[in-house]
Amino acid sequence: MKMPRRIRTYCPYCNEHNEHEVEKVRNNPPSEMKWGQRQFRRVTSGYRGYPRPLPTGGKPTQKTDLRFRCNECGKAHSRKGFRTSRLELEG
């Protein structure tokens, strides 16, 4: 799916419609200091590898994670994600 890079939509901070910049949100790599990651390293170390069956297949589409940044106030808000196989920002 193709999506424009800038759209005019409602800004909840300005309480009016303004031009918004569309950004994709990337997730950060897991921190090695977090409890879940330490647990994972402990469990997978030594004999016996992965603690649960390896995930196979997966969903055919992924939900989008977009952030809309207002050009007037500079604040960002997000919307409900929708499913699409590929998202292209253009314009």
Residue in 1, 73, 79, 83 binding Zn ion, rule: CB under 5 A: 73
Task: Examine residue 16 and tell whether it contacts Zn ion (CB under 5 A).
Answer: no
Number of residues binding to Zn ion, judged by CB under 5 A: 6
Task: Examine residue 50 and tell whether it contacts Zn ion (CB under 5 A).
Answer: no
Compare residues 39 and 72 and give the one whose CB is closer to Zn ion. Answer: 72
Could you tell me which of 11, 16, 1 has the C-alpha nearest to residue 64? 1
Counting every residue, how long is the chain?
Answer: 91
Compare residues 63 and 75 and give the one whose CB is closer to Zn ion. Answer: 75
The angle at the Cα of 24, spanning 76 to 89, to the nearest 5 degrees, equals: 110
Among the listed ranges 1-9, 29-37, 52-60, 69-77, the one in contact with Zn ion (CB under 5 A) is 69-77
Could you tell me which of 3, 16, 23 has the C-alpha nearest to residue 77? 23
Task: Examine residue 68 and tell whether it contacts Zn ion (CB under 5 A).
Answer: no
The DSSP secondary-structure symbol of 14 reads: T
Distance from chain centroid for Cα 3: 16
Residues near Zn ion, by CB under 5 A? 11, 13-14, 70, 72-73
